Structure 1
Amino acid sequence: IEANVKAELLKLGFSLSVASLATSEAIRYYRKQPASKRGKMIADCLNQAKRWAKRAAKNKY
């Protein structure tokens, strides 16, 4: 999950530092969540990371 989320964020144009922090948030989200619908966990983690990265990019991390 970590590699996939970080690669997608970098492809979307976020800086390495923002992508790393957002990936950590996605992993934290993954560990807290109960099982989601089949095949949806990576998508859920990616959405969580994108939300966090957009907020972080506005704050210029």
Structure 2
Amino acid sequence: MNYEQFIEANVKAELLKLGFSSSIAAMATSEAIRYYRKQPASKRGKMLEDCLNQAKRWAKSAAKHKH
């Protein structure tokens, strides 16, 4: 498993655990991967946290506009 796959699996699992629908979780996970690809090196051990925060912001926004 490479790091992108690791981020994808963990971010999606966390979003589903937080109650987001699978479609929103999948789109937010894509945003997290896009964020990972654009960012320079993060503090050691913080990239997953940064990607998860980005995905949560995106998912909350998408869930708000969906209703």
Does TM, normalized by the shorter one, top 0.5?
Answer: yes
Q: CA RMSD in A?
A: 1.0
Aligned match of 2:53: 47
TM-score by length of 2: 0.89
Share of identical aligned residues, percent? 85
TM-score by length of 1: 0.97
Aligned structure 1 segments of 4 or more residues deviating by more than 3 angstroms: none
Task: Report how many residues are paired.
Answer: 61
Higher relative contact order (CA 8 A, sep 6+): 1
Residue segments in structure 1 that go unaligned for 5+ positions in a row = none
Residue segments in structure 2 that go unaligned for 5+ positions in a row = 1-6
